[in-house]
């Protein structure tokens, strides 16, 4: 798993957000109905959450574990959820991966803890999510998961565009660099598929369980979020299957090209073997036939005979498979013209 960057030691990365009308504004101190936003969490941040908010240290440790799966746990003072959010970071070889996000729902506030900054949280704080309410904890959770599903879909489309671009490059010339890029995209799809499945399980538990109580008017929003996650999972499966088939196809192309090269080299070796054999015989310490050694045309005749034998061998070993030409393409082109005229 890709390791996200961590916060600087001694630098507090806790921010507080409060709803002011339709906008989300930053405040200096925590209070009621405030979103406590912790990104690039440091040891000092965790100490504050543990002492001031009463979050269990094992829960904080799980939220920062890059391999942690999505789940729900309910305590006396709060309800904790761990979700997997998509990340884009061009500094890594695998530029798309996922990180865990801890969501802690108190009665009067919401706390999120993430080991790295991500586009989902950036869009929430930038006001790009409509009707984001910090006071309504269940609605806040649904908006967060809905935005995560949208970002997943956006990244999957970008991965598909990158795959198509690499495919065009591979059709011109197969290079190791393009194959490594395809392998990185395949890893990203594996990360996305696994994380989406675990997030979907959390969403199903929210629908069926009582860990978080949703209002009646939030049922439609909950169904929309579930639909977006199902669509993202389906897209990740489709892209993963296409990429796997593409990798297998290019592996077959590479193997076929190697077989063609080896076949050509074998034909060249066999063709050159005939004159080599004749010249080797005449290079031995054996007497020449009468009159051959003193003849002026002996050398040209021998070389000409060797060349003729080599050409005859090449003719016998030529590729006799019929290649599609204009005659094979003409009926199809004529059919297209007739169909267009109709």
**The pLDDT of residue 342:** 38
Whether residue 145 is predicted with pLDDT greater than 90 in this model: the reply is yes
Whether residue 77 is predicted with pLDDT greater than 60 in this model: the reply is yes
209-265 pLDDT tens trace: 777 888 877 888 888 999 999 999 999 999 999 888 888 888 888 888 888 888 888
- Contact between residue 84 and residue 98 where contact means Cβ atoms under 8 Å apart: yes
Mind listing the domains of the chain with CATH numbers? 14-253 (3.30.460.20)
Percentage with pLDDT > 90 across the chain: 27
Q: How sure is the predictor about 337, in pLDDT bands with cuts at 50, 70 and 90?
A: very low
Task: Tell me what the mean pLDDT of segment 3-14 comes to.
Answer: 50
**DSSP E strands, 93-173:** 96-105, 109-114
**The pLDDT of residue 99:** 93
Whether residue 193 is predicted with pLDDT greater than 80 in this model: the reply is yes
- Provide the whole-model pTM: 0.75
Could you give the strand order of the β-sheet that contains 109-114, starting from the edge strand earlier in sequence?
A: 23-27, 14-20, 34-39, 109-114, 96-105, 79-88, 71-74
DSSP state of 94: S
Whether residue 338 is predicted with pLDDT greater than 80 in this model: the reply is no
58-71 pLDDT tens trace: 999 999 898 899 99
Sign of CA dihedral 67, 150, 87, 210: negative
| d(C-alpha 52, C-alpha 82), whole Å | 21
């Amino acid at each position: 798993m890709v390791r996200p960057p961590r916060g600087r030691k001694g630098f507090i990365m806790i921010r507080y957000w409060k709803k002011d009308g339709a906008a989300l504004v930053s405040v200096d101190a925590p209070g009621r109905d405030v979103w406590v936003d912790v990104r690039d969490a440091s040891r000092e941040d965790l100490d504050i959450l543990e002492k001031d908010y009463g979050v269990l240290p094992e829960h904080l440790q799980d939220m920062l574990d890059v391999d942690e799966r999505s789940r729900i746990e309910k305590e006396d003072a709060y309800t904790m959820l761990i979700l997997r959010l998509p990340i884009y970071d061009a500094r890594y070889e695998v530029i798309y991966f996922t990180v865990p996000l801890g969501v802690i729902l108190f009665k009067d506030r919401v706390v999120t803890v993430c080991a790295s900054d991500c586009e989902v949280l950036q869009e929430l704080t930038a006001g790009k999510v409509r009707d984001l309410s910090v006071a309504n904890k269940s609605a806040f959770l649904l908006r967060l998961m809905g935005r995560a599903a949208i970002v997943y879909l956006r990244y999957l489309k970008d991965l598909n565009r990158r795959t198509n671009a690499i495919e065009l490059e591979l059709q011109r010339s197969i290079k190791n660099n393009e194959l490594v890029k395809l392998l990185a995209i395949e890893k990203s799809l594996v990360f996305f598929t696994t994380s989406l499945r675990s997030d979907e399980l959390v969403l199903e538990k929210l629908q069926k369980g009582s860990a978080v109580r949703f209002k009646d008017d939030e049922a439609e929003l909950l169904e929309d979020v579930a639909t977006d996650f199902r669509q993202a999972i389906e897209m990740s499966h489709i892209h993963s299957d296409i990429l796997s088939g593409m990798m297998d196809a290019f592996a077959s192309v590479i193997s076929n090209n190697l077989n063609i090269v080896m076949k050509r080299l074998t034909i060249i070796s066999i063709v050159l073997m005939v004159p080599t054999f004749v010249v080797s015989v005449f290079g031995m310490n054996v007497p020449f036939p009468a009159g051959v050694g003193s003849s002026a045309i002996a050398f040209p005749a021998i070389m000409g005979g060797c060349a003729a034998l080599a050409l005859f061998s090449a003719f016998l070993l030529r590729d006799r498979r019929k290649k599609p030409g204009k005659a094979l393409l003409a009926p199809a082109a004529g059919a297209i013209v007739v169909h267009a005229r109709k």
